Chains A and B, each alone.
Chain A
Amino acid sequence: MATIREIRRRIRSVQSTAKVTRAMEMVAASKMRRAQERTIAARPYAERMGQVLADLAAQRQAGDEIHPLLIQRPVNRIAVVHISADRGLCGGLNANVNRRTVSFVLEQSVPVTLVAVGRKGRDFMVRYGQEVRAEFTRLGDRPSILDILPIARVVIDDYTDGLIDEVYLSYNQFVTTMTQRPVLWRLLPIEPATIEARLNVEYIYEPSPDEVLAELLPRFVEMEIYHAVLESIASEQSARMVAMRNATDNANELIEDLTLTYNKVRQEMITKELLDITGGAAALA
């Protein structure tokens, strides 16, 4: 049986662990709220841009020259933008998105190259022996669109240079605080048909529909990547909050058990001492 001192030390250690996990839970909770707000704040832009793009696509005539980002090519090489968290201690979040990407890679008959965003995913993929074309870590909790531009640059350049023929995005989608779902979908080539065109209006274009489209499409890609990163951050913070709450609950439970054992051992010791004393007194009498 453990000695009283050992139990006491153990209780103290678990208590300080509980304090840390409790603090991490609170930090994650407040970051989560802000991350969710940012995700929502980014939505109007995404919606408007989708609409404009759909309107533009609806105006196209057969035989018009197609913008490179819209052309479907035979697929010889695929790139996946793999978005994970920089840090762990957030449950199975990173493992889930890693698994999703790896199973996608294994399904493909052509080589797949990765653009890793986030340290956890990067580390995993390097260990796994997957080719990593570029990596972006330390984006922080509040990336601005400017932080995302280099990622979009790499993807768009490789795509237009013909190094890759399809680009996929893989990240954790924020569903609710309790649920995050790893998702993977095709970013390039863009399919404007997925967005519904509004009533058919004749726009005046300045300078011209093609030029507007050429400016709009790269921004669309940037925006989609930015959005995926925001979703991933919101997922990370809520997963961490839940994981830390569980850890705190477990620690508290452990403290209760240990305290009970501690009291029992203490009581036993006192009883034993009393018995010794009364036994000694009886022997003297």
Chain B
Amino acid sequence: MPKLKFEIVTAERVVYSDDVDVVIAPGIEGQLGILPSHAPLLTMLQPGEVVVRKAGEETAIFVSGGFLEVMQNRVTVLADVAERVEEIDIARAEEAKRRAEEGLRLRPPEMDLAAAEAALRRAMVRLKIAERKKKRPGSGGAQGL
């Protein structure tokens, strides 16, 4: 079976680039599983994890949002921010989560509610991914998906 040429790029760097078998991504209209020979697609992403499977091994990468393009077995994610599991800063994510929750609870008048909610969602996804990685040390990340 042909492989997918998969790449996650941010404005700052190429985060991940490899030939893979499957890509699972958090599309704006729901979770997407992409196999080779997928039709051309352009979708927005929501904050979540992109999981790639290669020879039975899985790798999870956090993305904060962006775009995903499928084109002739090339899958490209244009991410706003992307982090590999081992790069996630747990302390910072906890802090961001706490701040966002506090903001949502107190609701100061000048606060942008949507932004706080988005921040909370990003922090929680980061923590979830990092958490799962911790429980299975040595594995490539999400195995139970």
Contact = CB atoms under 8 A, between A and B. Distances in A.
Interface string B72-109: 00001010100000000000000000000000000000
A206 B40 CA distance: 11
Interface of B is mostly: strand
Given A52-B69, A144-B12, A45 B78 contact: yes
B42 A206 contact: yes
A144 B11 CA distance: 9
B42 A45 contact: no
A45 B69 CA distance: 12
Contacts of A206: 27-29, 41-44
27 contacts: A38-B12, A41-B14, A42-B12, A44-B7, A44-B9, A45-B9, A45-B10, A45-B12, A48-B69, A48-B76, A48-B78, A49-B78, A52-B42, A52-B67, A52-B69, A145-B80, A201-B40, A205-B41, A205-B42, A206-B42, A206-B43, A207-B29, A211-B44, A212-B43, A212-B44, A219-B78, A222-B11
A52 B28 CA distance: 18
A144 B80 CA distance: 11
Given A48-B76, A206-B29, A212 B42 contact: yes
Given A52-B42, A52-B78, A207-B44, A145 B67 contact: no
B11 A42 contact: yes
Given A45-B11, A201-B40, A206-B28, 11 more contacts: A41-B12, A41-B13, A42-B13, A45-B9, A45-B12, A203-B41, A204-B40, A204-B43, A205-B43, A211-B44, A223-B11
A178 interface: no
Contact of B9 (A48, A205, A222): A48
Given A48-B69, A201-B71, A207 B28 contact: yes
Contacts of A42: 11-13
Contacts of B44: 206-207, 211-212, 215
A203 B44 CA distance: 13
Contact of B40 (A48, A145, A202): A202
A219 B11 CA distance: 9
B111 interface: no
Q: Return the 9 tightest CB-CB contacts between A and B, nearest first.
A: A206-B43, A145-B11, A41-B13, A45-B9, A204-B41, A203-B42, A203-B40, A201-B40, A44-B9
A202 B71 CA distance: 10
Contacts of B78: 45, 48-49, 52, 219
Interface in A173-219: 201-207, 211-212, 215-216, 219
B44 to A, nearest CB: 6
A230 to B, nearest CB: 9
B41 A216 contact: no
A226 interface: yes
A269 B6 CA distance: 79
Contacts of B12: 38, 41-42, 45, 144-145
A52 B76 CA distance: 10
Contact of A212 (B7, B67, B80): B67
A145 B78 CA distance: 13
Nearest to B77: A48
Interface in B25-54: 27-29, 39-44
Nearest to A222: B11
A201 B12 CA distance: 28
Nearest to B69: A52
B9 to A, nearest CB: 4
